[in-house]
Amino acid sequence: MKTVTFILIYCLFAMSFTSCSKHYQLKKDEIMRYIPYKGNEVLVFHSDKNRVDTIFLKGISSFNGCGDPLDIYPDRCDGVKVNCTRTDPNYDRYLQGNELVQLVATQSGDTHISFDIVLKGSWFYNLDSYSLSEFDKMPNSELRIGNQVYNDVKIFEASDYAKQYSQRDNYAERFYWSVRHGFLGLDRRDEKWRFVEKWVP
């Protein structure tokens, strides 16, 4: 009898736990449309100072983008991020465990996209995320890199928050993101970086 009572109490507790938390999901087409990588690419960039840098993509992983882990009934917001190994913007070394771009479903019902943009000696300081509707409404610009012309480029300018770091040597003023091809480069005051090659090892 005690065993049956315990099982009933446990089931009631489990049902109340799941019913009080909410699950905000990403749509499959959002991932395919806004994450233009498979996660195994190597991205090569060249600067107008004749320097080369490389970003090594290390897979696409899932995470929970909302909810307090101390909550009894935490919400779950589906998120995916493109992991990478890339240059330290301050030192001559590579750092593992970074990310390039992420998508996350939010409790408001919108899906948000955010970027973590770094190249050799260059850092786009940014705490912003953008709803997909905001991202879509940004005008598409044209960017020529060598003989290649990209006509679906979103240009992200430094925010007021970022401008407090404008005196730093690694401060990047803007970066370029192609809807179909991803990260295309950035501009620093004294150096411009552009994407030149993508390959899969």
What residues contact 11, with CB distance under 8 A and at least 6 apart? none
pTM of the model: 0.86
pLDDT of residue 197 exceeding 70: yes
Tens-place pLDDT, residues 144-161: 999 999 999 999 999 999
Cα 64 from chain centroid? Answer: 14
pLDDT bin (cut points 50, 70, 90) of residue 64 is very high
How high is the pLDDT of residue 67?
Answer: 66
DSSP string, 38-97: -S--EEEEEETTS-EEEEEEEEEEEEE-S--TT-SS--EEEEEEEEEEEE-SSSSSEEEE
Tokens of 36: 């233009």
3-state secondary structure of 30: helix
**What are the boundaries of each domain within the chain?**
20-199
